[in-house]
Homo-oligomer: A and B are copies of this chain.
Amino acid sequence: MENNNHLKLESQICFKIYTVEREITKLYRNLLEDLDMTYPQYLVMLLLWEKDAMTVKQLGKRLFLDSGTLTPMLKRMEANGIIERRRSAEDERSVIISLTKKGDELKKKAECIPTQLVEDMSMNRNELTLLNDTLTDILTRLQNKK
């Protein structure tokens, strides 16, 4: 009985995370429409805005994405003129991703996004901190499973 509830709760939580993720992505979709980028592309840009010129490998490590996802995504971003892709001279295996002028300038337009998002989620600092801790906890456990 008690165990049974426990299991139902598990299903609910996983489904809720799945649903919340899509709802948040939807919020970002609206906010990022102007910048003509998707949420995963925005994540790449956040990394590049913080530190320009990273390899695909480095981006993948930070975002937990492989080249199967990144390569086509980065090509789309290149086609949109916000990043550049070039082979590293030191190691021809690596591809270095860097911001174009246009990509760099988008940073200013993106600055309002976090504020907007927090507003849309309407959560206070305590809630945010608590949730962040819980998620960090889960993530650590999940990623150490493998």
A125 / chain B contacts, CB cutoff of 8 Å = 6, 9
B128 touches A16 (CB 8 A): no
Query: What is the total number of copies of this protein in its complex?
Result: 2
> A12 and B118: CB pair below 8 A?
no
Residue in B15, B43, B135 whose beta carbon sits within 8 Å of that of A13 in the complex: B135
Contacts of A122 in B (CB 8 A): 141
The reply to whether B19 and A64 form a contact with Cβ atoms under 8 Å apart is yes
Chain A residues in contact with chain B, CB under 8 A? Answer: 6-28, 39, 43, 46, 64, 114-115, 117-118, 120-123, 125, 127-132, 134-139, 141-143, 145
Question: How many angstroms between the C-alpha atoms of A18 and B64 in the bound complex?
Answer: 10
Residue pair B23, A143 in contact (C-beta under 8 Å): yes
Q: In the assembled complex, how far is the CB of residue A6 from the closest CB belonging to chain B, in whole angstroms? A: 6
Closest to A122 in B: B141
Assess whether B132 is in contact with A127, with CB atoms less than 8 Å apart. Answer: no
Are the C-beta atoms of A136 and B16 separated by less than 8 Å? yes
**Shortest CB distance A34–B (Å):** 18
B16 and A46 form a contact (CB under 8 A): no
Chain B residues with CB under 8 Å of A120's CB are 142, 145
A13 touching B128 in the complex, CB below 8 Å, given contacts A19-B139, A21-B18, A21-B21? yes
A9 to B130, CA, bound (A): 11
Neighbouring B residues of A43 by C-beta, 8 Å: 15, 18
Most B-side CB within 10 Å, residue of A28, A127, A142? A142
